[in-house]
Amino acid sequence: MKCLVVLCALVALSECLVRFPLIKGKSARDILQEKGQLEEYLQKYPYNPMVKFQQTGTEPMTNDYDMAYYGVISIGTPPQSFKVVFDTGSSNLWIPSVYCNSQACQNHQKFIPQQSSTYKWLGQALSIYYGTGSMQGYLVSDNVEVGGITVAQQVFGISQSEAPFMASMKADGILGLAFQSIASDNVVTVFDNMMKQNLVSQKLFSVYLSPNSEQGSEVVFGGIDGNHFTGQVTWIPLTSETYWQIKMDSVTVNGQTVACNGGCQAIIDTGTSLICGPTNDINNMNSHVGATTNQYGMATVNCQNIQSMPEVVFTINGHAFTVPASAYVSQSSYGCSTGFGNGGSQQLWILGDVFIREFYAIFDVDANYIGLAKSK
């Protein structure tokens, strides 16, 4: 179960997908499309999003064209730097290593164990599967610095092989922020170790995702940044301590229920760029906002119609969270498409970056709640 973070993020239509000062460049989807390889890729690697889901440390994130957000962490002594996606839909930290010969590792920063005096080899094999690919490697441990906080002897994965799609990722690896219960090999998560080592004063972290490729995205470990939201925080209880999972009441357009009729389960997932749900529900949503869906599940709209398109309202725990067309429609040189992606037949929804950009998200580990407030 899990929509990969970075992976998902980069191919906006085969994803129900990932996204952190701004790095210029084209998205993986644009690159594949320009090369005429996008349709071939989608046929060869169909997206399956359900294979995955007051001392503070503030980590800036790069917004990669609203498709993925990533930040820079350091590992080892002396430190080696890596770009990682901060993913609330998975629980492991992993990075490429010098032992990896896959094409995906060739254009990414690779960890060199021999250059770190605090590195330890654990020797246990590791495999992690995401919506658009996988990695295989081994578990090791070393000091990990995130947002100015140094976690001592964090266990993480170093890749020996990676799926082809990861070659298009801007980030080198992934840092999972879901619960230890879904971590491969039951590895203690980075944030759990922050709490165990008394490195944060509050057992929560919060996320702000900037819109329209703007700068300013961040994840705050152990605190909340009030500069990024307005109004009251709505607190929603978790229904599962696996992913950041909650109960959603309904999805409505123009007052009519178009999806999640009678309630459904949803994951707040920073590692998925789209809003994903069961195929029939997503098709219904796209139809009600005036979109046309092609054979690959990509729903396109006339760019001239955005201003007149309806809002989509997600009712969660009795509270309405409204996403306007300006937020759920993305524009590129190839046209306009909605951010609603098919998640297959399973009933679990994924509220990815399209949703989170509208609402500052607070992940309270101590109380098992998610807090949402209107972003500004």
Total domain count for the chain?
Answer: 2
Say yes or no: 209 and 233 in one domain: no
Point out the domain boundary residue: 175, 205, 220: 220
> What residues are labeled active site?
87, 269
CA-based nearest residue to 344, from 52, 88, 128? 52
CA distance 1 to 175: 16
Segment 243-283, tens digit of pLDDT: 999 999 999 999 999 999 999 999 999 999 999 999 999 99
Say yes or no: 234 and 193 in one domain: no
Segment 9-36, tens digit of pLDDT: 333 333 443 322 323 344 455 555 565 6
The pLDDT value recorded for residue 342 is: 85
- The model's confidence at residue 88, banded by pLDDT at 50, 70 and 90, is very high
Say yes or no: 302 and 262 in one domain: yes
Q: Dihedral sign for Cα 199, 200, 205, 211, please.
A: negative
- The model's confidence at residue 334, banded by pLDDT at 50, 70 and 90, is confident
Residue 233: CATH number of its domain = 2.40.70.10
Say yes or no: 230 and 207 in one domain: no
The pLDDT value recorded for residue 29 is: 55
pTM: 0.85
CA distance 96 to 190: 17
Q: Which domain holds residue 356?
A: 225-375
- The model's confidence at residue 82, banded by pLDDT at 50, 70 and 90, is very high
- Conformation bin of residue 362: beta by default, left when phi > 0, alpha when psi is -120 to 50: beta
- The model's confidence at residue 294, banded by pLDDT at 50, 70 and 90, is confident
